[in-house]
């Protein structure tokens, strides 16, 4: 049975899709059918497709009562829109279907597990949100919320845990049992990950606290994920209110890989905390294991600190990042765009051994839907190299590579963005005797930089009009550059 609220959302989508005017969108970065999106949800494989749901408010480009939007893809690059999957249409989720995950059940159905939000007045007269975990089961298009929802209620939070910050269930099946990892606020005010277990994904019991911030790794954590990678275990968390530390941990909203080890599935002895992405726009990352065994991650290409700016430039607001393959080498998580992206590249152009100093362009290097690989070597002295992208007479987006300081800086001060927060991001990177490699992918309004074969990555959204497509290079000291550029096939979306 499709509720009135869900039908309304689907009708709204269909009316939008039937309109003649189509918006200019990124080509291979997923956006919502129409309106606002945030976190990736329910990243799963079901039938012969990958499914990606997302936090969704179709009716305008601002966060609102949360629905789940839905898309599918065969290769994680070319996406198709499916009808809105969940609407806040039950008493227990009337204030939102917040983030969660999905898993295929043994009977061939797809189960969505999400946070149902209920706002109600407490006996002290205060109005508060209660967050509990619920499930909906379906055929991959239509989902029925089960009658025993919420299946993990606030009563099942261990003593002292906050009853209002309890959300973002990640469901995983291991050794015949279902496990749910949800975030909660510990009495010390910071995040903890609660683990629940179940034989049927409907009846749950509390198992343990997997890990907690102890006010060291930001305050409240959001959107957990948990998986084995090579010989390590990785817990992903998105902390709010992180305290800045050194060159590479920025204050505010963050996304971290917590890397650890442990014997059993739920033994997690944390050893390292690594930022996932150094750009200003990356949050709420989620992963999947692909059919051929790769661990692939996708995230919301946005940050809560920058969300209310430029919302009405398009018919949609926000995109997902590129799907990235994860690998551990020397204790570090490397991330690279998945290889499926290469299938859509065309028009390869290469220039080798270009000596860059005065600002210059290269005849065939320009564009706003491009994949560029670049290697820089010093000629004699260390250098500060600047690449200007998405450029016209007044706009430019800068990537500064400084081998003297050992840093890369992204700068969108002149990229059409109308607020000042997070215009620049600078982070430390490795140079091997003045040599560095970058891969830069621009998809109209998105910029992703992968440094030294994916040892570090940085994501940034820009708002520059797509007519601004020039690219130039300059450097204070001569730098020797090899560069390869591809365009992409049109019509991916
Ligand atoms: C993270 C988050 C989640 C929540 C959702 C609400 O970006 O705050 O914790 O479930 O967004 O849209």
* Domain CATH for 380: 2.60.120.560
Closest by Cα among 71, 194, 85 to 136? 85
Per the structure, the count of domains in the chain is: 2
The more confident residue out of 49 and 309 is 49
**Average pLDDT score, the chain:** 96
Q: What is the pLDDT of residue 132?
A: 98
Closest by Cα among 116, 63, 115 to 94? 116
The last residue of one of the domains, among 315, 340, 365, is 340
Least confident of 121-125, 152-156, 194-198, 373-377: 121-125
Q: What is the pLDDT of residue 241?
A: 94
* Segment 35-63 mean pLDDT: 97
Same domain? 321 vs 391: no
* Segment 72-92 mean pLDDT: 97
> 318: Cβ below 6 Å to ligand 1?
no
> 414: Cβ below 6 Å to ligand 1?
no
The last residue of one of the domains, among 340, 358, 380, is 340
Percent of the chain at pLDDT > 90 equals: 94
174 CA to centre of ligand 1 in angstroms: 26
143 CA to centre of ligand 1 in angstroms: 21
Q: Is the Cβ–Cβ distance between 283 and 253 less than 8 Å?
A: yes
pLDDT at 95 > cutoff 90: yes
Same domain? 439 vs 309: no
Q: Is the Cβ–Cβ distance between 443 and 462 less than 8 Å?
A: no
Q: What is the pLDDT of residue 490?
A: 80
Question: Is 311 within the bounds of a domain?
Answer: yes
The last residue of one of the domains, among 285, 317, 340, is 340
Ligand 1 pocket mutation pick from 42, 98, 131, 285 by most atoms within 8 angstroms of CB = 98
Helical spans, DSSP H, in 362-450:
none
144-161 per-position pLDDT tens digit: 999 999 999 999 999 999
Ligand 1 pocket mutation pick from 167, 221, 317, 320 by most atoms within 8 angstroms of CB = 167
Same domain? 336 vs 389: no
Taking the CA of residue 39 as reference, the ligand 1 atom at the shortest distance is: 7
| Whole-angstrom distance, CA of residue 93 vs CA of residue 112 | 14
pLDDT at 492 > cutoff 70: no
The more confident residue out of 352 and 21 is 352
Domain that holds residue 371: 343-488
Number of helices (H), then strands (E), in the chain: 1, 32
| Whole-angstrom distance, CA of residue 457 vs CA of residue 275 | 10
Same domain? 322 vs 354: no
Q: Would you state the structure tokens that stand for residue 353, as one six-digit string?
A: 């051994």
Same domain? 230 vs 323: yes
414 CA to centre of ligand 1 in angstroms: 30
pLDDT at 493 > cutoff 70: no
99-110 per-position pLDDT tens digit: 999 999 999 999
Same domain? 136 vs 268: yes
Same domain? 336 vs 357: no
Cis status, amide bond into 150, omega within 30 of 0: yes
Question: Is 493 within the bounds of a domain?
Answer: no
216-269 per-position pLDDT tens digit: 999 999 999 999 999 999 999 999 999 999 889 999 999 999 999 999 999 999
pLDDT band at 430 (very low <50, low <70, confident <90, very high): very high
Same domain? 333 vs 347: no
Ligand 1 pocket mutation pick from 32, 36, 37, 39 by most atoms within 8 angstroms of CB = 39
Least confident of 305-319, 379-393, 457-471: 305-319
User: pTM (2 decimals)?
Assistant: 0.97
pLDDT at 397 > cutoff 80: yes
* Domain CATH for 221: 2.115.10.20
Q: Residue 311 carries which DSSP code? A: G
Taking the CA of residue 63 as reference, the ligand 1 atom at the shortest distance is: 12
Question: Is 397 within the bounds of a domain?
Answer: yes
């Amino acid at each position: 049975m499709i509720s009135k609220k869900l039908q309304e959302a689907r009708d709204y989508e269909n009316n939008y899709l039937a309109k003649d005017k189509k918006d200019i969108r990124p080509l291979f970065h997923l956006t919502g059918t129409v309106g606002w999106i945030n976190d990736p949800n329910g990243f799963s494989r079901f039938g012969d497709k990958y499914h990606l749901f997302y936090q969704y408010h179709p009716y305008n480009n601002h966060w609102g009562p949360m629905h789940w939007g839905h898309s599918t893809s065969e290769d994680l690059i070319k996406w198709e829109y499916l009808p809105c999957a969940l609407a806040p249409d039950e008493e227990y989720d009337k204030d939102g279907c917040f983030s969660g995950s999905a898993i295929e059940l043994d009977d061939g159905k797809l189960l969505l597990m999400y946070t149902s939000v209920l706002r109600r007045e407490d006996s002290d007269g205060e109005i508060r949100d209660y967050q509990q975990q619920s499930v909906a089961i379906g055929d991959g298009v239509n989902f029925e919320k089960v009658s025993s929802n919420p299946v993990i209620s606030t009563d099942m939070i261990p003593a002292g845990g906050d009853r209002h910050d309890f959300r973002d269930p990640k469901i995983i099946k291991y050794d015949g049992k279902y496990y749910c990892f949800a975030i909660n606020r510990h009495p010390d005010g910071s995040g903890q990950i609660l683990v629940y277990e179940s034989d049927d994904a409907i009846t749950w019991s509390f198992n343990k606290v997997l890990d907690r911030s102890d006010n060291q790794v930001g305050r409240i954590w959001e959107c957990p994920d948990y998986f084995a990678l090579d010989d390590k275990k990785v817990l992903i968390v998105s902390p709010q209110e992180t305290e800045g530390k050194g060159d590479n941990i920025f204050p505010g909203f963050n996304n971290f890989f917590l890397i650890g080890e442990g014997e059993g599935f739920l033994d997690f002895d944390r050893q390292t905390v690594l930022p996932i992405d150094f750009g200003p726009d990356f949050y709420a990352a989620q992963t999947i294991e692909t059919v051929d065994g790769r661990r692939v991650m996708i995230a919301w290409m946005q940050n809560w600190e920058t969300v209310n700016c430029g919302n009405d430039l398009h018919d949609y607001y926000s995109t997902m990042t590129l799907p990235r393959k994860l690998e551990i080498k020397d204790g570090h998580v490397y991330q690279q765009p998945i290889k499926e992206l290469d299938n859509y590249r065309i028009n390869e152009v290469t220039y080798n051994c270009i000596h860059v100093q005065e600002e210059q362009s290269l005849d065939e290097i320009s564009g706003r839907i491009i994949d560029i690989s670049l290697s820089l070597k010093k000629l004699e002295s260390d250098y500060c190299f600047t690449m200007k992208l998405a450029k016209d007479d007044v706009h430019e987006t800068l990537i500064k590579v400084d081998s003297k300081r050992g840093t890369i800086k992204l700068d969108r001060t002149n990229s059409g963005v109308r607020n000042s927060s997070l215009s620049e991001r600078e982070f430390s990177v490795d140079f091997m005797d003045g040599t560095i490699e970058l891969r830069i992918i621009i998809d109209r309004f998105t910029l992703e930089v992968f440094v030294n074969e994916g040892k570090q990555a940085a994501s940034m959204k820009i708002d520059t009009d797509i007519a601004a497509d020039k690219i130039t290079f300059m450097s204070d000291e001569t730098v020797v550059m090899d560069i390869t550029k591809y365009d992409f096939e049109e019509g991916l979306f």
